[in-house]
Chains A and B, each alone.
Chain A
Amino acid sequence: MLSGDGVLLKVEGVALAFGGVTALSDVSFDIRRGEIRAIIGPNGAGKSSMLNVINGFYRPHSGRITYKGRTVGHMRPHQAAKAGIARTFQNIALFKGMTTLDNIMTGRLLKMRGNFLLDALHVGPAQREEAAHRAVAERIIEFLEIQAVRKVPVGRLPYGLQKRVELGRALAAEPDLLLLDEPMAGMNFEEKEDMSRFILDVNEEFGTTIALIEHDMGVVMDLSSRIVVLDYGRKIADGTPEEVRHDQAVIDAYLGVAHDDERGAWG
């Protein structure tokens, strides 16, 4: 297990806008090693944008991000990946043309040393490395209980399984920080239960720090150690599930959620 408290990632005064539309303004919070941190908020509150900023997909217009003690102005996504940040996406971003196994293997690419010449010969080192990483991928497949669909092109899998495979791909990179963007969106009760179990196991087995966005309050309250609440791109609350549950601002924001959907169009 990792030591409880050290701060892994710190976001300070981050602001972001598309054209004229403000997605994030002056958001600050931190994520501690080994915790499960939830980011919640009504539609269009800027949750996904926050993740996109963290893993370098969007460049914030102001503010700084401190990761593993080093302040990084802005990382390119592949640099973030190298630094140990992996993520899943709100609407699944798997490589449709490939099988479950290959998708998870792509998660290992960062760890693979070989080059195309060795691949072309496919002897000695290349083959050995391939096998070694396959073994890791297989462990993840077993962990997520998707052995039955190992060789199935992900395009053919049901939604719930695709979400699982995507989680697997992220895990394959053995990340220090795992960003999950609505891992349970559109799942039924059983699927949600499974996914929650996997998330907890990941956190416990590998000590992976997790930041997740989720709409299902029940799930969030059960899983997360601390919660950040965003609304209209600014932070309105931050604390343990208990604190957040009784926070007036949060309650208001969520009562307003009904007529929020048009606003949700952008964000």
Chain B
Amino acid sequence: MLYREVGQFATSYAADQAIFPIRQDRFGMLVLVLVAYLAVPLVANEYWLSTIFVPFFVFSLAALGLNILTGYAGLLSLGTGGFMAVGAFTAYKLATAFPGINIVLVFVAAGIVTALVGLLFGIPSLRIKGFYLAVATLAAQFFLIWLFVRIAWFQNYSPSGVITAPPRAVFGHFFVTGPEARAAYKYWFTLTFAAVLALAAKNMVRGATGRKWMAIRDMDIAAEIIGIRPLSTKLLAFAVSSFYIGIAGALWAFIYTASVEASAFDIDRSFQILFMIIIGGLGSILGSFLGAAFIVLLPIFLNNLPNQLGLHVGVALVTNLQDMIYGALIVFFLIAEPNGLAALWRAGKEKLRLWPFPH
């Protein structure tokens, strides 16, 4: 209905393979970016920025990472939390050990270290598949968390086992961590990370790298027979995925919750991220964001629901009810749209493009 594609034709492969080949989409994306960078910080208050948007971006990154591994390369992992922890603690050690380095570099370094760890735990993926692999990744999950809990060195021997992000600024005096950090700065900081890394991910999955991954996912035998090396391809997926997750973990520890302990990255976190990509849509960059938004907003919604309805009920009751509703909703979603929100989005877009013809 909104689309008028007549007269839009590509004269180069670059144009034909652009991320948004349709003019209307390009325009929409531009608007979205402008809104995200300018409008939101102006209108949204502290609460929204720091407790909804920042975690949304952090989760989106983690989901993006897991989606690369599970959605594109078809390798199911339950170790996301563990890898986030690696990112968080690496960043902490680096930031505290070398106060001099720019925080951005610290995060990137944290990502790289996580990538290496991911590489290590990815090795079994050559031999084992499906749920065997999933369970194997649990080994990473438990081992890593145990490591950060037990080995005091990782928390600089803090008695409580809690690590607290030292104050750091970007461009000299815009503090994104520490006491005088401003919500808006945090927002822009995480938004930029999310945006840049999302673009990078999109580029990878629409290029040769992505095709390798998807080939392995769709039919590993055929993939090997056309010359794709299974091991290196899978390991690459693990590394890249872990890089994203690691940075997400670092952002979580430094920007979102200024101080954190290892248990924040337990197996429930892994499942949470997994939910995001399933509900958002496997093998879809957009899906990672949609899923993250859903999982971030749902609890907040459920929390405020009783007050909205003016009910006054015990905390325990509320949490239990939340668990139930949460679980029920998950199941409901899987039944309603197994291919996730991204699929809904795609279908809706197709409807608009074909309007008034049926899809």
Contact = CB atoms under 8 A, between A and B. Distances in A.
Interface of A: 55, 57, 76-78, 80-82, 86-87, 89, 93-98, 102, 105-107, 109-110, 112, 114-116, 119-122, 126-127, 129-131, 134-135, 169-170, 173
B217 A97 contact: yes
B209 interface: yes
A187 to B, nearest CB: 20
18 contacts: A80-B225, A81-B227, A82-B227, A94-B222, A95-B222, A95-B223, A97-B218, A105-B211, A109-B208, A109-B211, A109-B228, A110-B227, A116-B236, A120-B203, A120-B204, A122-B207, A127-B14, A169-B226
A112 B227 CA distance: 12
A102 B217 CA distance: 14
Given A105-B211, A109-B211, A89 B222 contact: yes
A119 B203 contact: yes
Contacts of A115: 209
Q: Which of A78, A82, A134 has the most CB of B within 10 A?
A: A78
A135 B14 CA distance: 11
Given A96-B218, A98-B218, A121-B203, A116 B209 contact: yes
A120 B17 contact: no
- Report whether over half of chain A's contact residues are helix, strand or loop; otherwise say mixed: helix
B214 interface: yes
Contact of A57 (B12, B13, B221): B221
Contacts of A96: 218-219
Interface string B212-242: 1011011101111111111000001000100
A87 B211 CA distance: 19
B281 interface: no
A119 B230 CA distance: 19
Nearest to B282: A97
B221 A119 contact: no
Given A97-B218, A120-B203, A121-B203, 19 more contacts: A55-B225, A57-B225, A78-B227, A93-B222, A93-B225, A98-B211, A98-B214, A102-B214, A106-B223, A109-B211, A109-B228, A119-B208, A119-B209, A120-B201, A121-B200, A122-B207, A130-B17, A134-B17, A135-B13
A114 B203 CA distance: 13
- Report whether over half of chain B's contact residues are helix, strand or loop; otherwise say mixed: helix
Contacts of A80: 225
B226 A173 contact: yes
B226 A81 contact: yes
B283 interface: yes
Interface string B263-298: 000000000000000000001000000000000000
Contacts of A55: 225
B68 to A, nearest CB: 10
Contacts of B236: 116
Nearest to A169: B226
Contacts of B13: 130-131, 134-135
Contacts of B217: 97
Contacts of B226: 81, 86, 106-107, 109-110, 169-170, 173
Contacts of B12: 131
Contacts of A170: 226
Interface string B185-219: 00000000000000011011001111110110111
Nearest to A85: B225
B225 to A, nearest CB: 5
Contacts of B204: 116, 119-120
A246 to B, nearest CB: 36
A93 B208 contact: no
Given A93-B221, A93-B222, A119 B215 contact: no
B228 to A, nearest CB: 6
B317 to A, nearest CB: 44
A104 B220 CA distance: 16
Given A78-B227, A82-B227, A86-B226, A93 B219 contact: yes
A97 B214 contact: yes
Nearest to A130: B207
A109 B211 CA distance: 8
Q: Which of B224, B227, B229 has the most CB of A within 10 A?
A: B227
